[in-house]
Amino acid sequence: MVEAQVTWVDGLTFIGWSSSGKAIVLDGRKEVGGSELGPTPMELVLIALAGCTAMDVISILNKQRQKVTSFQVKVRAERAPEHPKVYTEFHLEYIVKGQGISEEGLKRAIQLSREKYCSVGAMLEKAAPIYTSYTIIEES
Cβ-contact 44, 28 below 8 angstroms = no
One domain, residues 12 and 75: no
132 and 91 in a single domain? The answer is yes
Q: Are residues 46 and 32 in the same domain?
A: no
Q: Which long-range contacts does 76-84 make (Cβ < 8 Å, 24+ apart)? A: 77/46, 77/128, 79/42
Domain containing 15: what range? 1-38
* 55-79 confidence digits (pLDDT tens): 999 999 999 999 999 999 999 999 9
Mark whether 82 and 115 lie in a shared domain: yes
CATH number of the domain that 92 lies in? 3.30.300.20
Domain count, the chain: 2
Residue-wise pLDDT for 111-133, tens only, equals 999 999 999 999 999 999 999 99
Q: Which residue has the higher pLDDT, 104 or 29?
A: 104
